[in-house]
Amino acid sequence: MVRMGELAVSRTPDAVLVSLGLGSCIGLALVGSGVAGLAHVVLPESPPAGASGTPGKFGDTAVPALVAELAKAGAPRSGLRAVLVGGAQMFAFGSSGDIGGRNEAATRAALAEAGIPVVAACTSGSTGRTVRVHVGSGRVVVKEAGSREVELFSGRLAA
Report, as residue numbers or ranges, the catalytic residues.
25
Residue 91 or 151: the one with the smaller Cβ distance to another protein is: 91
Where on the chain is the footprint of another protein (CB under 8 A)?
3-6, 20-25, 42-43, 47, 88, 90-96, 99-100, 127-130, 143, 145-146
Q: How many CB atoms lie within 10 A of CB 66?
A: 28
Smallest distance, Å, CB 146 to another protein? 7
- CA 17 to chain centroid, in Å, comes to 11
Smallest distance, Å, CB 59 to another protein? 13
Sign of CA dihedral 81, 41, 110, 72: negative
Residue 80 or 99: the one with the smaller Cβ distance to another protein is: 99
Q: Which of 111, 108, 104 is nearest to 64 (CA)?
A: 111
Smallest distance, Å, CB 99 to another protein? 6
- Decide if 26 contacts 59 (C-beta within 8 A): yes
